[in-house]
Amino acid sequence: NVRADLYWQIWSMIGDRPFLGFGGNSFEYAYPLYHQAPVNFDMVWEKTHSTYLALWTDHGLLFGSIPLVMIGWCLFQLIGILQRRQVEDPATVAAFGAVVVAAVHSTVDFSLEIQGVTYLFVAVLAAGLGPLARRNRPAEKA
């Protein structure tokens, strides 16, 4: 229940500044203006506990959605790669799984805001999108 109440308060923050947000990495400074009961006062809320809400709170709905659109584009590219290939590429399957797990997990946690997790996520995603680079490269002349 605490998270649901927290999320409702964060949505009110987004509603107050939907276009520009509060600025990058500003949640811990802006949230005290919105912190009300029933959300616990015995904790300092420094994170939104949702990557999506963090993006929208910090950067607004338009600019905060750009990373989500980019990941969505990558997901559709991975689906296309998996449909075109006769043999499944383990890196592409791993990247597809990583995107799905990260997308679902990001609704209720902020693990992609941790640098090490993000670097690993980007590396797995890049490995999975490797067939795109091979497909778009011009054929070498012998």
Q: Give the global pTM.
A: 0.83
- Cα distance between residue 20 and residue 105, in whole Å: 25
* Residue of 72, 38, 33 whose CA lies nearest to 52: 72
Cis peptide before 18 (omega within 30 of 0): no
| pLDDT tens digits along 46-79 | 888 899 999 999 999 999 999 999 999 999 999 9
Domain spans of the chain, in order of start: 2-61, 66-136
| pLDDT tens digits along 84-134 | 877 778 999 999 999 999 999 998 888 888 899 999 999 999 999 988 877
